[in-house]
Amino acid sequence: MARITTTKLKKMKESGEKITMLTCYDYSTAVLLDEAGVDVLLVGDSLGMVILGYDSTLPVTMAEMLHHTRAVARGAKQAMVVGDMPFMSYQVSCEEAVRNAGRFLQEAGAQAVKLEGGREVVPQIRAIVQAGIPVMGHLGLTPQHVHRLGGYSVQGKEDAARQQLLEDARLLVEVGVFAIVLECVPVDVARMVTEAVDVPTIGIGAGPYCDGQVLVTQDMLGLYRDLTPRFVRRYASLQQPVKEAVQAYIQEVKAGSFPGPAESFGWPEKEPLKVY
């Protein structure tokens, strides 16, 4: 099968087929998610919290994003790989934005980039799209603005904020985004935006009317427990099985039962090796 393209995502919106997106930060997980059939792998700057252990996404650098995007791109055969532009890689100027966006495609093998914000980043999005780089927008709760927003909370609750969100979505579409992530917005706001624009909306904490959904993979697998937003559904609880496997390994190494003949080279045929 050919790789998922922006054209394919648009057709999915038109035909009502839901789009699936998951975050991914490494090669072996990329192979798994790709084989499972997810449409889009987002190398999110959530990397900073989930993988690197920072307490927000703000410290994440271009170097870190490129490093992980390369790993994901090597593992993804069919899924579209989207690189998330980190804080300060696109805010300063259109020139910096285009140069950094380009690095995700040229140096890291992504097919598109994502960046956060509405009207304030319209010039940057226009410039990146004009350079031939597909851009995914991101509205609602934009975690790179955590300090301005005063925390991580639902956005677009008041009338003015809803109106602003809708206008921002229209502006992003005008300058050529191929999709928009809606994060933490009320169900009816996400629905209004989804119906108003002709590019797919991909929701996280944005209700069922979006054209697609995205989750942080470690959240949905139950592997990350620093934060558990209400919008996460746990499809597995891998923490316990992983812990149990590690404890079994520890116990068998300590007891001398691992490694055994099957895991060793040149195991003596008569006498088992006396380790202790």
Residues found near ligand KIV in the complex (CB under 6 A): 23, 42, 44-46, 84, 181, 183, 204, 214, 216
- Dist CA 93 CA 42 (whole Å): 24
Known binding residue 84? Answer is yes
Q: Which does residue 39 touch among Na ion, ligand KIV, none (CB within 5 to 8 A, set by kind)? A: none
Cα–Cα distances (Å) from 107 to 1, 73, 99, 134, 242, in that order, read 24, 11, 11, 16, 34
Question: Of 103 and 213, which has the nearer Cβ to ligand KIV?
Answer: 213
Looking at 83-91, 159-167, 180-188, 200-208, which segment touches Na ion (CB under 5 A)?
Answer: 83-91
Q: Which positions are catalytic? A: 183
Q: How far is the CB of 157 from ligand KIV (least distance, A)?
A: 20
Could you tell me the CA-to-CA distances from 108 to 60, 82, 134, 208, 228 in Å, in that order? 16, 10, 15, 33, 30
Kind plus residue range of the DSSP H or E element containing 215: strand 212-215
| Residue 14, token pair as written in the block | 């038109």
73 neighbors 32 (Cβ within 8 angstroms): no
Looking up tokens 């499972």 gives 36
Instruction: Report the residue from 44, 118, 137, 200 that binds Na ion according to the rule CB under 5 A.
Output: 44
For Na ion, the closer CB: 154 or 239: 154
Neighbours of 228 (CB within 10 A): 11
Question: Is 46 annotated in some ligand binding site?
Answer: yes
Min dist CB 248 to Na ion, Å, is: 36
- For the bound state, the minimum distance from the C-beta of residue 65 to ligand KIV, rounded and expressed in Å, comes to 10
**Two tokens at 139?**
């509205």
| C-beta of residue 68 within 8 angstroms of C-beta of residue 104 | no
212 binds Na ion (CB under 5 A): no
Provide, rounded to whole angstroms, the least separation between the CB of residue 203 and ligand KIV. Answer: 9
Q: Which CB, 173 or 214, lies closer to ligand KIV?
A: 214
HSE-up of 90 (CA within 13 Å, CB side)?
29
Smallest separation (angstroms) from ligand KIV to the CB of 143: 7
Q: At a CB cut-off of 8 Å and minimum separation 6, what does 192 contact?
A: 162, 166
The residue within the footprint of Na ion, chosen from 39, 64, 84, 211 (CB under 5 A), is 84
64 binds, among ligand KIV, Na ion, none (CB under 5 to 8 A by kind): none
In sequence order, the 6+-apart residues with CB closer than 8 A to the CB of 99 are none
Angstrom CA distances, 150 to 117, 233, 265, stand at 16, 25, 59
Beta carbon nearer to ligand KIV, 145 or 259 = 145
The partner in contact with residue 204, picked from ligand KIV, Na ion, none with C-beta cut-offs of 5 to 8 angstroms by kind, is: ligand KIV
Tokens of 262: 């099957």
Residue 114 marked ligand-binding = yes
Residue 200 binding result from ligand KIV, Na ion, none, given CB thresholds of 5 to 8 Å by partner type = none
Residue nearest to ligand KIV (CB): 44
Cite the annotated binding site for 3-methyl-2-oxobutanoate by residue number: 45-46, 84, 114
